A = this chain, B = another copy of it.
Amino acid sequence: MATAGSRSLSPGTGERFARIRGATETLAQPLSPEDCVVQSMPDASPTKWHLGHTTWFFETFILEDTINGYTPFRPGYRMLFNSYYNAVGEQHPRPRRGLLTRPSLEEVLAYRHQIDDRVMELLSAGRLDAHTLGVLEVGLQHEQQHQELLLTDIKHALAQNPSRPAYRDDAAREQASAGISRTAMDWLPWDGGMCLVGHQGEGFCFDNERPSHRQLLQPFHLATRLVTCGEYMEFMAEGGYRRSEFWLSDGWMEREQQCWSMPLYWQGDHDGFQVQTLGGLREVDLQEPVSHVSYYEADAYARWAGARLPEEAEWDHAAADLPVTGNFVESGRLHPAAVPVPAEQASARNPAAEKPGLLQMFGDTWEWTRSAYGPFPGYAPAAGALGEYNGKFMCNQMVLKGGSCVSPAAHLRASYRNFLYPKMRWQFSGIRLARDTA
């Protein structure tokens, strides 16, 4: 949820609204109506549902609140496309989203366009007050989150098909680096001490990034880059999945129940591993950052490596002044990159140079921290339904930082807090090591 403050959206708001809304549809374009309807597991949603739900957000929180006697596009959508807002009312059960063959993709796109038109009208007419413009901003940030989810979810859906279809044939191409030994991972030191954690300044952030507060950190080191597939295969080769001493108790049980022996989307054995990507099935590139590992696997890997995962505050502190550059959805690669994506592809929000040596902090894969997702001291959720956006999930999940190769660049910042259950693997989640300074 947004912290509105005294924001006054620039004249470019309409243009930005149109661009972000359009980006979602662009992501759906390679997909057939059939692709858009399926749901491969309860954690994932159909593409069509993402298209509808993000629209529902604007209809419910902007149009209904702004227009007297607003007539809904379809009354039934209020329930169908409500994700989890109890304050708005009943919800279609999440695991049954994939059974909605009607409305059709075409109808949902028509829904999008009509709601977009009406929002644009209000924007053009200057009829949105500061509070509502704040909600609109939340809606756009929410839209960007669902852009990422649309890609992670369709990746999962297509991976269930034995023919291993690609989302886009040009995605996840192997890079020239493959097979070339990469510079060894280094450790960068930080002094710790009293640090400021959480979001500061004027820009948008969600309510869970606030209030910024001071926290005492011990001296620590962070790895200069993400753990690669090649390194992860060493862990596997040394019995990583069979030796309980590396694992949390819950992780060890999950591993057994799920029969985990490699990252999600991998197949094969030590004679050769293949990985399902958004570009289809191909060989694993040893130099690429490993992805689609659970917290349990990340944690076990770290213990095997004689290290640990970073604290959220350590990561936040280390990244605070970095420019947000890296391999994001805009590069079109849609897969972690063995070598930095070319400058013209890399997205950058800040002009400053990246701190020498600290690579891949943004983009490529989300980075598991060892911090449970909870409220910052003094946290207060927003009033009303939007108070359900973040606060009610503050239990049982772990914080991830930095964004991934399917995140929109403009959506990210150092204080951004993603959160997942420790057993989840379907998002682009990877590993950066940390250690205490001796």
- B residues near A436, Cβ cutoff 8 Å: 377-378
Binary CB contact string for chain A from 249 to 275 against chain B (1 if under 8 A, 0 otherwise)? 111100000000000000000000000
B247 and A392: CB pair below 8 A? Answer: yes
Residues from chain B with Cβ under 8 Å of A139 in the complex: none
Give the one of A34, A299, A378 with max B CB within 10 A.
Answer: A34
- Whole-angstrom distance from the CB of A255 to the nearest CB of chain B? 13
Interface 9-residue window, one of A111-119, A157-165, A223-231, A332-340: A157-165
Copies in the complex: 4
Per-residue interface assignment for chain A, residues 296 to 337, with 1 indicating a CB less than 8 Å from any chain B CB and 0 otherwise: 100100000000000100000000000000000000000000
Query: Least Cβ distance of A95 to chain B in Å?
Result: 11
Of the residues B87, B157, B247, B250, contact of A99 by C-beta under 8 Å? B157
Measured between alpha carbons, how far is A8 from B80 in the docked complex, in Å? 56
Q: How far is the CA of A100 from the CA of B159 in the complex (A)?
A: 10
Q: Is A18 an interface residue (CB 8 A)?
A: no
Contact A374 B370 (CB under 8 A): yes
* Residue pair B248, A392 in contact (C-beta under 8 Å): yes
Contacts of A182 in B (CB 8 A): none
Report how far A87 CA is from B249 CA in the complex, Å: 13
Tell whether, in the assembled complex, residue B99 and residue A161 are in contact, meaning their CB atoms are under 8 Å apart. yes
Q: Are A86 and B163 in contact (CB under 8 A)?
A: no
Nearest CB of B to A171, in Å = 16
Whole-angstrom distance between the Cβ of A426 and the nearest chain B Cβ = 14
- In the A-B complex, the 5 residue pairs with the smallest Cβ-Cβ separation, listed nearest first, are A372-B372, A86-B244, A34-B101, A99-B160, A249-B392
Residues of A within 8 A of B (CB): 32-38, 40, 48, 76, 79-80, 84, 86-87, 92, 96, 98-105, 157-158, 160-163, 165, 194, 213-218, 244-245, 247-252, 295-296, 299, 311, 370-372, 374-375, 377-378, 392-396, 422, 436
